[in-house]
Chain A
């Protein structure tokens, strides 16, 4: 007897749950569509700030960057995307000083792992969310990050540790 009961109760609970499911999908049919119509909605498109697309070296209004040409980013880069070329100059007081000549980055090789940004001791690098990076030639993917004629920002003896904390690097 109980098996007969089980048969019918199973049947009817099954039908009920199926109808519930159909009710849910019916509601879903009328929800707002989430498709991003990309090329048309470029003006209103929102890309998350933390989305990593393009490595940049922020320059301030005096065309100064923070890179000391230490080469830590190059060492940390897992697949050799970054090539830092330093050069030696002589300062006014006659000291030899290593400054940045070129900071080259190859987008085509980059895995966007963010290690260069995390490990940079002077916060010189940043990943931007500009995602339209398609070009017709692989050579165009190789970029020089420091601007023409830029120089290093003079340090104001700021402690390095708090700066590291400021960076939003939960993966670090």
Chain B
């Protein structure tokens, strides 16, 4: 059953209405210009809002893991806490550090935020809700998200502070290592799906998510992607750059005010981006849960707007990430690199070969049970 566009809750209705209205009254150039600006503004706004929601959710869930209540004074259940924090961080002074490389120092946070923004723009949030749908979407996302490390290294270098520098080098080593695993895990699924385009990939997961379709190989790839994605976001148990006792705050030690806010924002958004890419690639993205032959069930599931499905699945993965963060002890730098180079990478390489064999010999679930999935 195909999702019909007459669904009242889909945002696609609004966007297509806007498009036809604009086209009826002005030329192609202006229509495109207005639409580009609108998309940009909406993405920026979504970026900020999602970050605020994530910060609130993280603080709340963290608190619950530690038998606390978390923020509960500002607004009902502390809902306005992260808004208040945002206002505070906007009002703070941006301190200029003596003997720092001024240009690079100010450019570094921009690199960070631009990289995460570029990745954010390519995510399909719902049916027809992706700003851009490349035929090499997966490659684009992997390439662009790795730009953020330039921001981190520049921050460490330009601060002229040994702690920042060591923190940045640690972060760089960690990021570069785990980027490899994340890329390979995505490649495994590209082998399975036979496409790099997000929309086609999601369409292919209508009845069977990639996570189940390639069964054992997909599961391994999923777990590896989650681990390496988690490590890429520099969050515990992989939060080596931020070691209060030996490195103070790592690469962003010298940053204050909004510049620190950029790093903070990018960190949270990277968590969201990792979760949403995992959702798109492994868990069927915005596609509702559909079962072959159960038309009534499929109809009900399709009633729920696609963006709700997307954000729901992403939220589950984000919760998983927080759960991991508050369960596991922090790794040492050598243990961290051990995990990547001695475990994840070899397993990943074997896994790709396994996936190729599964696909070529027709052992995926869609091949084995064509009527069921």
Contact = CB atoms under 8 A, between A and B. Distances in A.
Contacts of A25: 65, 323, 326-327
A29 B63 CA distance: 9
B68 interface: yes
A35 B323 contact: no
Interface in B221-278: none
Contacts of B328: 18, 21
Contacts of B63: 33
A33 B68 CA distance: 5
A126 to B, nearest CB: 34
B323 A33 contact: no
Nearest to A20: B327
Contacts of A11: 343
Contacts, number: 33
Interface string A1-33: 000000000010000001001101110110111
Interface string B330-353: 000000000000010000000000
B69 interface: yes
Interface of A: 11, 18, 21-22, 24-26, 28-29, 31-35, 37
Interface of B: 63-69, 323-324, 326-328, 343
Q: Which 10 A-B pairs have the closest CB atoms?
A: A25-B327, A35-B69, A21-B327, A22-B327, A34-B67, A35-B68, A33-B67, A33-B69, A31-B67, A29-B64
26 contacts: A18-B327, A18-B328, A21-B327, A21-B328, A22-B324, A25-B323, A25-B326, A25-B327, A28-B65, A28-B66, A28-B67, A29-B64, A29-B65, A29-B323, A31-B67, A32-B67, A33-B63, A33-B64, A33-B68, A33-B69, A34-B67, A34-B68, A35-B67, A35-B68, A35-B69, A37-B69
Given A21-B327, A35-B67, 18 more contacts: A18-B328, A21-B328, A24-B327, A25-B323, A25-B326, A28-B65, A28-B66, A28-B67, A29-B64, A29-B323, A31-B67, A33-B63, A33-B64, A33-B67, A33-B68, A33-B69, A35-B68, A35-B69
